[in-house]
Structure 1
Amino acid sequence: MRGRGLFGLAIIISGALPIGWLINAVPDWSRAKAEEIPAVIISEIAWAGSSVSQYDEWIELKNVSTDISDLTGWKIVITNTVGADISLSLPSKPLSADSFLLIANYPDDHANSALNATVDLPETDISISNEGFVIELRDPADTVVDTAWDGTKPPSNGEYGYRNSSGSAAIERRTPIEPGGIKNSWQKANNSINFDTLPDPQVINWGTPKSTNSQPTSAAPTIFLISPTIAEIDTALEMEAIEGDNFSINPAPRIELRDGTQIITATDVHVLTPTLIDSARFDLHGATAGQWDVVVINPDGQEGVFPNELELVEPEEDEDELDYSNNIIINEIYPKPSTGSNDEFIELYNTGEAAINLKGWQLDDQSPGGSAPYTITDNQIISPRGYLSFIKTVTHLSLNDGGDSARLLQPNGTLISQATYSTAIAGQSYAWLNDRWQWTLRVTKNAKNILELTEEEDEDSAVAEEQLSSEENPSGIELELSVSQVDASAVTLEWQLDELGYIDEVEIFISLKAGERGELSRVAPARHREAEVIELKPNTKYWFTITGDYNAYTAVSNQVAATTKSGTPAQKLNNSGAAGQIIITELLPNPGGGDSEWIEIFNPTDQPVIITGWQLMDKSKRRYTFTALDFIGIQADDEEMGDIIIEPGQYLLLDQDMTGIHLNNSGGEEIYLMDSEDNIIDTAAYHSSAKRDYAYILAPNEKWFWTEEATPGIANNITFEGEMEDGSNYLTPSGPPKSWSPLSWLSLLLSAIMLVGIKRNVKANYQK
Structure 2
Amino acid sequence: MLDKKRFTFYCTLVAGLFLVSLFSSVLLPGVEAASTWKSNLPGSQAQVYSHLDVIINEVAWSGTVSDSESEWIELYNPGGVDIDLSGWKLVSDDGSPNISLIGVIRAGDYYLLERNDDMTIIDSKADMMFTEVLDNNGELLRLLAPNDNMIDSANLEDGKWSAGSSFPDYASMERISVVADSPSAWGSNNGVIKNGYDFKNKPIRGTPRQRNSLYAPLSEPDTDTPEPAPTDTETPTKTATPTETTTPTETATPTKTATPTKTATPTETATPMKTATPTKTATPTQAFTMTPRLPAPNHLVISQFRTRGPNGAEDEFVELLNPSNAPVNIGDWQIKKSSDCGQVIVSLLSIPPGVVLLPGQRYLAVSQSSRETSPDQIFSLSISDGGGLALIHSNGNIVDQVGLCSSAQFRESTTLQPLSGNYNQSYARKPVSGIRGCVDTNRNLDDFYLLSPSNPQGMTAPIELCPGVLTATPTTRPKATITPAASIAVLVINEFLPRPASDWNGDGEANVNDEFIEIMNIGSQPVNLKGWKLDDSESGSNMFSLPGSVLLPGEITLFYGEETGLMLNDIGDEVRLMKPNAQVVDTFIYPTVTQPDQSWCRQPDGAGAWRSDCQPTPDRLNQWDEGDTFAPPTEVEDRAVERVRLVCPFAEPLLTNLYQSRCNGWGVNIWRISFWKTDVFLLLPGRDKWGVLIH
Q: What is the TM-score normalised by the length of structure 2?
A: 0.27
Q: What is the TM-score normalised by the length of structure 1?
A: 0.24
Q: Which has the higher strand share?
A: 1
